[in-house]
Structure 1
Amino acid sequence: MKARYVRISTPDQNKERQLVKNHPKEKLFVDVCSGSIPFDEREQGKKLLSTEGLSYVSVHAIDRLGRNLLDILTTLAHFDENNIVLEVDNLGIKSIVQDKDGKSKPNPAFKLIISVLANISEMERETMLERQREGIELAKAKGTYKGRVRGSKDSPETILGRYPNIVKRLKEGHSLRNTAKLCDVSLGTVQKVKKIIN
């Protein structure tokens, strides 16, 4: 069976319809989550890893699997151990190739290239977060930072709608700290959502 894994960060980036047309023979697994969440802890990532008879997985780019080098390498190891070919579209390379005799073998260049790109992806995320922090500090220093208006409050429905992943994790029985880590938010945010749920 062939599959295609797609990860988008926000629901408004929905490309599922387009992908069904472009990849009609591949079963789609689409996650809407941060790339910092480990692959085997994502709803569709877990389903993909446990799919029986899977022989091939395609992704648009390596950062769709994750933004953490160790996590990406762990996912690749799972694919290798189960003889699943991974193809990365934007690089045009596969994890397993055929030799002159037609036998399948690991692509020696694949792991090297992927390791380098996964490292770059991880650094990009760290740089992005650092720039975001610096931008907020600079805006605060200039007096132009526009956070939420002091004293204003979001309705419980608005808060729950903003953090569906937190609600899901809490309902699954994850601890507050683990939920904060998985959803890439502060512990205070998780506590606020839990209070509303209760």
Structure 2
Amino acid sequence: MSKTILYARVSTADQTLDHQKVQAEAAGFEIDEVIADHGVSGVSTMLRDRPEGKRLFDKLRHGDTLVVRWVDRLGRNYQDITDTIRHFMRQGVVVQTVINGLTFDGATRDPMQEAVRDALIAFMAASAQAQDEANKEAQKAGIEAARQVKSKYRGKKPSYDRETLGVVVDMLGNGSGASEISKVTGLTRQTVLRIKKDTAGAEEALRKWGL
């Protein structure tokens, strides 16, 4: 007797297995069994290498249906996705997606239909990998933007360390002039004067930079 298996991959905390199952049932699928991998990357870990994903290759038989929310649940690597779908089609397994309602079936022998089907598989697999790469670029851009904002908030990095600041403060307390302190510490005269004007601010600048 043929069965319908939902494969779910939950890679982040904001994704849930229940959501993927409910979504599939709402689309009209009658799920006989759910197989899921948690906290597994679809980029670096091939389906065959995942703890639960590899079970699909043992469980699915001719006439069965494999349901996934979208092809990115199978993976985000072009080669892995295309190899996986074609493998299951050769085994007589129908692969269906909840999103867009796509069906990949190896039963057809018409060359034009095969060409269209294979082109669609390639396109969807490429889209999954491209989306992952776009997400990574957006993440990198966000990290860089946050770093720049943080740097802007911290202000310019101090040209002195805590030990040098201590020397400046001590010499100022002893009545030394800015020019003399500049020669001793190697700081510019303007920096010494800024420290003299706002010693607390100079301390805070060191704190912000973790110095």
**TM-score w.r.t. length of structure 1:** 0.60
Q: Amino acid of the residue matched to residue 48 of structure 1? A: L
The aligned residue for residue 35 of structure 2 is 29
Identity over aligned pairs, percent: 27
Partner of 2:12: 10
**Distance in 2 separating the partners of 1:11 and 1:56:** 28
Output one character per residue of 1:3-61: Cα deviation in whole Å (capped at 9) or x when no partner: 11111213553233872793554211111222212111111110111115352211121
Correspondences of 1:135-146 after superposition (within 5 Å):
135-143=142-150
Measure how far apart 1:2 and its partner are.
2.2
State the secondary structure of the residue aligned to 2:89: helix
Q: Which has the larger radius of gyration?
A: 2
In structure 1, distance between residues paired with 2:20 and 2:67: 15
Inter-partner Cα distance in structure 2 for 1:113 and 1:72:
12
Per the alignment, residue 132 of structure 1 pairs with 139
Q: How does 1:141-180 map to 2 (within 5 A)?
A: 141-143=148-150
Q: For the Cα contact (< 8 Å) 1:62–1:117, is it kept in 2? A: yes
**Structure 2 residue 65 is matched with structure 1 residue 56:** yes
Gap runs ≥5 in structure 1: 98-103, 146-198
User: Where in structure 2 are the equivalents of 1:41-190 lying within 5 Å?
Assistant: 41-51=49-59, 53=61, 55-96=64-105, 104-105=107-108, 108=114, 109-143=116-150
Report how far residue 62 of structure 1 moved. Answer: 1.1
> What SS does the corresponding residue of 1:29 show, helix, strand or coil?
strand
Tell me if the contact between 2:61 and 2:93 (Cα under 8 Å) persists in the aligned partners: no
The answer to whether the 8 Å contact 1:68/1:121 transfers is: yes
CA distance in 2, matches of 1:34, 1:77: 21
- The answer to whether the Cα contact below 8 Å between 1:16 and 1:30 also exists between their aligned partners in 2 is no
Residue number in structure 2 paired with 1:195: none
Specify which structure has the higher proportion of helix: 2
Report if the CA contact (8 A) 1:93-1:110 is conserved.
no
Q: How many residue pairs are counted as aligned between the two chains?
A: 139
Q: Is the 8 A contact 1:2 1:27 kept in 2?
A: yes
Structure 2 unaligned segments of length 5 or more: list them: 153-211
Q: Against the structure 1 CA distance between its residues 120 and 24, is the aligned structure 2 distance closer, same or farther, given a 3 Å change threshold? A: closer
TM-fit CA distance, 1:128: 1.3
Against the structure 1 CA distance between its residues 52 and 132, is the aligned structure 2 distance closer, same or farther, given a 3 Å change threshold? closer
Q: 1:16 to 1:138 in 2, by over 3 A?
A: closer
The CA RMSD over aligned residues, in Å, is 2.6
TM superposition shift of 1:89: 2.1
Q: 1:138 to 1:10 in 2, by over 3 A?
A: closer
> SS state of the match for residue 124, structure 2?
helix
Query: 1:105 is aligned with what amino acid?
Result: T
Q: Post-superposition shift, 1:126? A: 1.0
Q: Could you say what secondary structure the match of 2:131 adopts?
A: helix
* TM-score of the superposed pair, with normalisation by structure 2: 0.57
